[in-house]
A and B are shown apart, each in its own frame.
Chain A
Amino acid sequence: KQEVTQIPAALSVPEGENLVLNCSFTDSAIYNLQWFRQDPGKGLTSLLLIQSSQREQTSGRLNASLDKSSGRSTLYIAASQPGDSATYLCAVKAGGSNYKLTFGKGTLLTVNP
């Protein structure tokens, strides 16, 4: 059974800091991994999608990497801003059952001005 873990559960940083959010998964047979952002009371916004054949994806100040062999992904946020404050979730699409997306519990990020 695929399990996805995100550490830390919460992170507080000062504005301008570069930071890394971690996501680990137990079964490396995945199709892809997706990072989402969720603001309070809102839906999930897709940030980056990394296919299993890719090592990383970039969008603006965000960079996500994928290491299937070690079962890890990181989301790097450069020059953090208060507007980046949100919960960040990673989700892994399992290789065995092609519809199943397994979510982590998320990391609550607070960027202090």
Chain B
Amino acid sequence: DAGITQSPRYKITETGRQVTLMCHQTWSHSYMFWYRQDLGHGLRLIYYSAAADITDKGEVPDGYVVSRSKTENFPLTLESATRSQTSVYFCASSEGLVTGELFFGEGSRLTVL
């Protein structure tokens, strides 16, 4: 089915472990984004990508790494997970950066123990 799919939907890990959250979109949108949603902070942008091999930092990039070797995939890696990274992570995509409508995936709920 068309759209954005995220995996895993739920993940429990331990402090210090590496975790990768996957995001795949079937629209061939140029722009992809990673947000985290936390109570009290709302949605905050972690990283975004304008095209394959082009990525840039958002508001809260520390502790995260992204890559985009293919247009349709935009994985987010936590190289050494910390408890403060416990959150719900959303991937999103958009056809156009300035005027494009933003579409979200279902989210990945990550718990770091």
Contacts and interface: CB of A to CB of B under 8 A. Distances in A.
Interface of A: 31-32, 34, 36, 41-46, 49, 51, 89, 91, 93, 98-101, 103-106
Contacts of A43: 90, 104-107
B98 A103 contact: no
Contacts of A93: 98
B48 A99 contact: yes
Contact of B107 (A42, A46, A49, A106): A42
Contacts, number: 45
Chain B binding site: helix, strand, loop or mixed by DSSP?
strand
Given A42-B107, A43-B104, A43-B105, A101 B45 contact: yes
Interface residues of B, number: 19
B98 A46 contact: no
Interface of B: 31, 42-43, 45, 48, 56, 58, 90, 92, 97-99, 101-107
A104 B41 CA distance: 10
